Amino acid sequence: GNWKMNGRQANNEALLSALKPAVAGFDTIDVAVCPPFPYLSQTASQLADSNITFGAQNLSAQQDGAYTGEVSSGMLVDLKVRWVLVGHSERRSLYGETDEIVAAKTQVALDAGLIPCIGETLEERKTGDTEVVLARQLDAVLPVIERHPASAFVLAYEPVWAIGTGLTATPEQAQAVHAFLRDRLASSGYAAAPSVRILYGGSVKAANAPELFSQPDVDGGLVGGASLVANEFVGIAKAAVDSLGA
Ligand code: PGA
């Protein structure tokens, strides 16, 4: 669940209190929330006795130093953060993160033992452009991820036109892109390609999650809006248990 820049202490507490018991038995999947930085420590203490893990939405490509406003990997490790979103399309489009920055952040996260969830963004949906954009973005992080086991990172495919719009890729569209990404990993010589988790993101909801997650190359969801609503997020997690957790 990517909360983006949403939530305040009181509703975070209510949301986490509702989620904890509802997903308590979901031990065959990873359920994680990514709150804004200021609430990581609140989240850590509230989830201390929970199977829900948590992540950050960004990290600095630098270590400690004169980088005003940035948050380093070491700080996230101090807060017991497990995951970190890297290269989300909003970071790319609103904050100018290039493929090079995404690769550098991925490296820093892996070095710190954080599990980067690397955003693959489809910017253009004209014929032919899909694979060019995705191949470019994947190739930029390949040299960084290929030296690590598949358990060390996650890829997320999020078509820009589907993020926060209520428009979802059809299960067939998502499957085709996920298969493309997995094939490209394999053909680049990454032997663990079959085990890489590739999440779909973009208006995932409890109602569309079962069909999306039943696709062979869709290994879970990166959920924005619906992760702020306890029932929705629990419904999505339940769909993941049913399709993926066997
Ligand atoms: P959405 O966002 O689920 O609200 O479409 C997904 C994301 O940006 O991670």
DSSP conformation letters of 120-162 = EEE---STTHHHHHHHHHHHHHHHHHTTS-GGG-EEEEEEGGG
Q: How far is the CA of 119 from the centre of ligand 1 (A)?
A: 11
Which numbered atom of ligand 1 lies nearest the CA of 163? 5
Tell me the CA–centroid distance for residue 109 and ligand 1, in Å: 22
Active site residue 88: yes
Any atom of ligand 1 within 6 Å of the Cβ of 228: no
- CA of 86 relative to ligand 1 center, distance in Å: 14
Question: Shortest CA distance to 226 belongs to which of 216, 234, 218?
Answer: 234
From first to last of its 246 residues, the chain has per-residue pLDDT tens of 999 999 999 999 999 999 999 999 999 999 999 999 999 999 999 999 999 999 999 999 999 999 999 999 999 999 999 999 999 999 999 999 999 999 999 999 999 999 999 998 876 555 567 888 899 999 999 999 999 999 999 999 999 888 888 888 899 999 999 999 999 999 999 999 999 999 999 999 999 999 999 999 999 999 999 999 999 999 999 999 999 876
The residues, ordered by sequence, that sit 6+ positions from 121 with a Cβ below 8 Å of its Cβ are 87, 89, 92, 133, 137, 158, 159, 160
State the distance from the centre of ligand 1 to the C-alpha of 12, rounded, in angstroms: 18
- Please list the residues that pair with 116 across neighbouring strands: 84
3-state helix, strand, coil split of the chain in percent (to 5) is: 50, 15, 40
Cα angle, residue 92 at apex, residues 244 and 161 outer, rounded to 5°:
60
CA of 157 to the centre of ligand 1 (A): 11
The answer, yes or no, to whether any atom of ligand 1 lies below 6 A from the CB of 204, is yes
Amino acid at 41: S
Q: Are 239 and 210 in contact (CB under 8 A)?
A: yes
Residue nearest to atom 9 of ligand 1 (CA): 224
Q: Is 220 in the pocket of ligand 1 (CB under 6 A)?
A: no
Q: Which of 97, 158, 178, 232 is catalytic?
A: 158
Which residue owns the Cα nearest ligand 1 atom 1? 224
Q: Is the CB of 225 under 6 A from ligand 1?
A: yes
Instruction: Write out the two tokens for 30.
Output: 């990873």
Contacts of 14 (CB under 8 A, 6+ apart): none
Residue 224 Cβ contacting ligand 1 at under 6 Å: yes
Pairwise CA distance, residues 170 & 2, whole Å: 21
